[in-house]
Each structure stands twice: as C-alpha cells, then as structure tokens.
C-alpha cells in the first residue's frame, strides 16, 4: 500500500529550525484527495526521526493541531515528527455528508464503514493505521518508531488504533477521549450510520469493549478537564477506568480541575504528552 503514491507539498513554513508542512496525496483507501499536516524537527535533516500520529476531533481538519496546540517547540527539542491527518474523507459529497457536525465531513470517527454510501470512502481506520504511515514513512525522513495520540473523537481514534494494533505503536495517550462510543450519543449516531443497526458490530470500535475483551499491553494515559462541557454525556472517563481495573490494564487518568474541552486545555498539557511519548520512542 502506498507504493506508487506521491506526496504533493501544499505549504511549508520554518518553525523552531524544523518545518511545518502540508502535503496532499491521492488516497486509494478513501478514494479521494487527502491533506495532512506534518511537523519535521531539525534532526530530520540528518536522519529519520520517530513520529507521533495525532488524531483530531469533530469538525477539525489537518490544520487545527498545528495551529493551536503549540507542540512544535518541544517536538523540535526532542527530535519528534508529528503527523496530523484530516478527520474524514473530503470532496466525496455523499448524501447527508455535510448536514451535521457529528456525522460525515469532519466526523469520520476513525472506523471502517460497512454501510452504503459511507463504505465507499469512510475507511479512516485503514487510512490512519496503514495507508498514511506507508506513504509518509517511505517519502519523508520519518522512521518506523510510532506513538499515537488525539483529542475527543481523535482520542477515541488513538485508543482504538493502539488497542487493535498494539505492535504498531510504542505508546498511546488521549485528551478528552470518547471512551465508550457505543453508549453515548456521538458514537451511537455515527456507528449506526457507518456500521449498521446492530450494536454487536460496534464493539470492535469501542475502547472500553476492546479492553474488556483483549486487554492492553500498552499503558494508557488520558488527560481530562473537569470543566469539560461534554464530560457527563459524551466522554465519561470513569467507564474507561472501570474497564481498565477489571482487565488489569494500566491507566494514568489525569483529571484537571477547571479545564474544558478546548485547545487551551491541549496547549497546557501537550508538552507532558510529548515527553511521555518521547520516553517510549527512545528519545526522551
């Protein structure tokens, strides 16, 4: 996968002696053009560097994290690349794709859709786990040592990627993740459209269910703001804590008083997460 694909530079800026760039390529998995934001630290000018894949949340694009998180300074210090894919296929114009913020455009939920019309394009899991890494790691100075993180819907994505593919990643973390999507409105809406009406088919895309069924050799780190407006209805980190206790999985759940769901929260604690991943990647 990715053997014949090319990366087309869209934009590039110097940043902490490295470079922030946007690259476009044709995705075979999603059958559309996709754009990703990538930070390459200064060490990448001399050798391949390890990478953090960052998965963003509902309504975001590849640009939100690069513009708002303030991660480049520490990434440059550590010698860590950051790859930020988009959050859904683009330009497909499926029926109902642009009608709500929590389904379709900007809301791919990092699953492989099985239901028409979504299944023709909405295979974000395969894109994030297989196709995009194959493309960027073969064409840019990015090595095979990977970590994964994300926010909200993207925190859900990071957790399921690491739980389903533990050999691909050396570490995983999440900010304000949707940990039990089969039991909350965001997940139920998206999964019923993408995966069908049988909740039994949803469990393989639910972090709490995966932990109970498979456990996890990787420890999990989760950052959660206690003033998050989505905390009680959509996020419910206590469900993840319960699943981890039952399965004997190590969870470092850090609940932060006064912090909400915004990028101000992410910007406050992203340095901690980068250094956490750096230790697992062998550069911290």
Q: Which residues are catalytic?
A: 152, 228, 261
Token representation of residue 218: 């990787």
State the Cα–Cα distance between residues 54 and 121, nearest whole angstrom. Answer: 21
- Determine the longest span between alpha carbons in the chain, in angstroms: 51
Tokens 């476009």 belong to which residue? 24
Q: Which residues contact 248 (CB under 8 A, 6 or more apart)?
A: 215
Spell 32-41 as b/e; 16+ CB within 10 A means b: bebbbbbbbb
- CB–CB of 20/69 below 8 Å? no
State the Cα–Cα distance between residues 143 and 43, nearest whole angstrom. Answer: 12
Cα of 18 vs its chain's centroid, Å: 22
Residue 7 carries which DSSP code? Answer: P
Token representation of residue 284: 């911290």
């Amino acid at each position: 996968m990715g053997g014949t694909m090319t990366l087309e530079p869209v934009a590039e800026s110097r940043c902490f002696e490295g470079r922030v760039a946007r690259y476009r390529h044709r995705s075979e998995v999603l059958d559309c053009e996709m754009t990703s934001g990538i930070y390459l630290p200064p060490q990448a000018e001399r050798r391949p560097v390890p990478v953090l894949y960052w998965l963003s949340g509902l309504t975001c694009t590849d640009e939100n994290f690069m513009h708002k998180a303030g991660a480049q300074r520490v990434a440059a210090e550590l010698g860590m690349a950051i790859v930020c894919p988009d959050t859904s296929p683009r330009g497909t114009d499926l029926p109902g794709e642009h009608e709500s913020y929590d389904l379709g455009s900007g809301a791919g939920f990092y699953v492989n859709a099985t239901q028409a019309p979504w299944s023709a394009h909405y295979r974000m899991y395969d894109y994030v786990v297989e196709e995009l890494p194959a493309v960027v790691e073969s064409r840019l100075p990015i090595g095979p040592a990977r970590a994964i993180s994300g926010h909200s819907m993207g925190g859900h994505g990071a957790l399921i990627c690491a739980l389903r593919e533990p050999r691909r990643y050396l570490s995983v973390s999440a900010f304000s993740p949707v940990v039990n999507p089969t039991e909350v409105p965001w997940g139920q809406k998206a999964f019923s459209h993408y995966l069908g009406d049988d909740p039994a088919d949803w469990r393989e895309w639910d972090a709490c269910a995966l932990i109970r069924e498979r456990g996890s050799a990787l420890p999990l780190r989760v950052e959660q703001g206690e003033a998050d407006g989505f905390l009680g209805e959509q996020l419910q980190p206590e469900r993840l804590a319960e699943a981890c206790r039952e399965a004997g999985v190590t969870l470092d759940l850090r609940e932060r008083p006064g912090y909400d769901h915004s990028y101000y929260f992410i910007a406050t604690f992203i340095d901690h997460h980068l250094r956490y991943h750096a230790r697992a990647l062998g550069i911290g």
